[in-house]
Amino acid sequence: MNLEHLTERLHRIRDTNDWKQFHSPKNLAMAASVEMAELVEIFQWLTEDQSRQLPADKLAHAGQEVGDIVLCLLLLCSELGLDMNEVVRAKLTDSERRFAHG
């Protein structure tokens, strides 16, 4: 997955629709939160086993919501001047340091 290419594609959509005015870091963080709530809603009231065995339509819906979340976060990184690859790598390295005691 080439995040730079995906971000360029997102910027084209944003610019074509004159949405940059709405893409402040605050609004993008809120949009990511709303999309996460939509993902959570798919799993609401399911048992642990049911959540691992979603029917095809719910699994597809979950995938759409995950995509929405990632795209919001890519736009947020772009607005903040963060490199998504770098922040994810740094966080993973920190998690390995803190939690991988094997």
| CATH domain 3-99 topology | Helix Hairpins (1.10.287)
Contact assessment for residue 61 and residue 42, using Cβ atoms and an 8 Å cutoff: yes
What pLDDT score does 1 carry? 83
Contact assessment for residue 29 and residue 73, using Cβ atoms and an 8 Å cutoff: no
Mean pLDDT of 80-98: 97
What pLDDT score does 4 carry? 95
Domain residue ranges of the chain, discontinuous segments joined by + = 3-99
CA distances from 76 to 27, 29, 52, 67, 68 (A): 9, 7, 30, 14, 12
Whether the predicted pLDDT of 102 surpasses 80: no
